[in-house]
Amino acid sequence: MTSELETVTVERVESYLDITRRAREKATPLVESTSAEGQRLAIMLRMADDYASDAAHFMNTGDLVRAFGAINYAHAWIDAGVKIGWLDGHGDDVLFTLP
């Protein structure tokens, strides 16, 4: 028997999409955009945005497993930026794994 915690639902994917959207909005750069780190951060954030877009696409086509995977990748890119100190998570230990 499959438990509720083992099931990917539209509601669960929507929740993760929202959490990632809030994390993307909250995290602010700590490095200059023209620096090497700033350029790498721009790549990381573009990856986060691309994965979030993919997640929404997969959800809209009914592929909840791929949607769930993609949104978790998106959030991981943002979280990594906070963890390495290129993004400020503003002390939010719900949206980010703080250093």
Q: Where does the pLDDT of residue 14 fall: very low under 50, low under 70, confident under 90, or very high at 90 and above?
A: very high
What Cα–Cα distance (Å) separates residue 59 from each residue in 39, 67, 77, 91?
30, 5, 20, 31
97 touches 82 (CB < 8 A): yes
- The full set of domain ranges for the chain reads 9-88
pTM above 0.75, yes or no: yes
Residue 98, pLDDT score: 81
d(CA 64, CA 57): 10
pLDDT in tens, 29-66: 999 999 999 999 999 999 999 999 999 999 999 999 99
Asked whether the CA dihedral 16, 19, 24, 29 is positive or negative, the reply is negative
Kindly report the CATH number that applies to the domain delimited by 9-88. Answer: 1.20.1270.90
